[in-house]
Amino acid sequence: MIVGSVSEDKNFEKRVALTPDIIKKYNSIGLKVHLSQNYASHLGINDIEYEREGAIFFKNYDEVIKSSNAILQINILSDENLNKLSQKQILVGILNPYSNEKKLKEISSKNIDCFSLELLPRITRAQSMDILSSQANLAGYKAVVDSFSYFQKAIPMMMTAAGTISAAKVLVVGAGVAGLQAVATAKRMGAIVFATDVRLASKEQVESLGGKFLTIEGSENLETEGGYAKETSEEFKIKQENLLKETLKKIDIVICTALIPGKKAPIIIKKEMIDVMQSGSVIYDLAASQGGNSELTKVNEVIDSNGVKILGEENILNKLPVSASNLYSKNVFNYIDNLFDKEKKTFEINLEDEIINRTKVK
């Protein structure tokens, strides 16, 4: 049996689904690896590094796709390459079934099994496969580093003979994996950090990292059984807006990370809130690709609103592609290891397995 992967469109995606160190793991469970030429050369990883571990390269994508039982990608294949898939093949990646519903239904109807890794259940057994956590961790870190580079003051408190420089105040909106990493990174760099989230369970996690949790009076725990945030009521939104508007008057940097799976990102930072922020402040919106948590966010643009800079990258992980690829490739291997029956030497689509059932695009 063979797993294969072709290069992503490098204009939009610099990560790769397989790194050299993971090839021998595939070989060890009885799987060969086929890749397209110059697969990760843009990351400074030559094909020879893969070949040393046992990967086989092909000049064009057709050969890789046609020869592979399972295709492992970051994102869904292009329309041209999707049409090259045939019956009984498997496609694994971040397939975004909400946006690509029509495409996925079409290829599933051809008896092609599609597995979307962002649908993984939040259970202990799936932690080693959790691509959302591994990638969000890096995104939270990078958002803080990038926002600090736009902030034109020192971050930690500094006491000098000429006077004292106050520490920067950072607010993290959404205390999931990305948000908690943002809290930890900002705190390590000397900032005073606040965080808010609709899930009350986040309070203890934020405080354990040295952050101060902003609680809305009378709020309930808005958390799904899967550990994600629910949509809030109108009453909650009004209370949240009032709290944020007062808080933002003294905040220097805001990191937005609030997302609801499969839906447009909630608008949390409205224009009238941005208007009360100090000139020179920075908002980094990690939810930009899903509409943004800030009302003024525009993807891949730096917006200046009365001196407040608002940033939103479509794919911030393109700025950390090597680290992101290393973690993603390990997640994907762990998923394939669960999907592949090592005794029968075949892929076993066991829908009684919660991991396989939940990730299979139906």
How many CB atoms neighbour CB 264 within 10 A?
11
Beta-bridge mates of residue 270: none
Residue with token string 């930009």:
288
Catalytic residue among 89, 133, 202, 290: 133
The torsion angles phi and psi of 199, rounded to 5 degrees, stand at: -95, 115
d(CA 337, CA 344): 13
Pairing assessment for the beta strands 70-75 and 2-5 based on DSSP bridges? parallel
Q: Which two tokens stand for residue 38?
A: 């110059």
The torsion angles phi and psi of 100, rounded to 5 degrees, stand at: -110, 30
d(CA 213, CA 183): 11
Q: What is the CA radius of gyration of the chain?
A: 22
| 188 classed as catalytic | no
Catalytic residue among 37, 47, 122, 305: 122
d(CA 276, CA 164): 25
| 122 classed as catalytic | yes
HSE-up (13 A, CA, CB side) for residue 292:
22
DSSP structural state of residue 229 = B
Assess contact for 212 and 183: CB atoms under 8 A: no
DSSP 307-327: TEEEE--S-GGGGSHHHHHHH
d(CA 90, CA 145): 38
d(CA 99, CA 230): 20
Continuous segment of H or E residues that includes residue 91: strand 90-94
d(CA 140, CA 282): 15
Catalytic residue among 113, 130, 197, 285: 130
Catalytic residue among 37, 228, 337, 353: 228
Give the dihedral of Cα atoms 337, 341, 342, 347; nearest 10 deg.
-80
Maximum Cα–Cα distance across the chain:
73
Which positions are annotated as active-site residues? Answer: 122, 127, 130, 133, 228
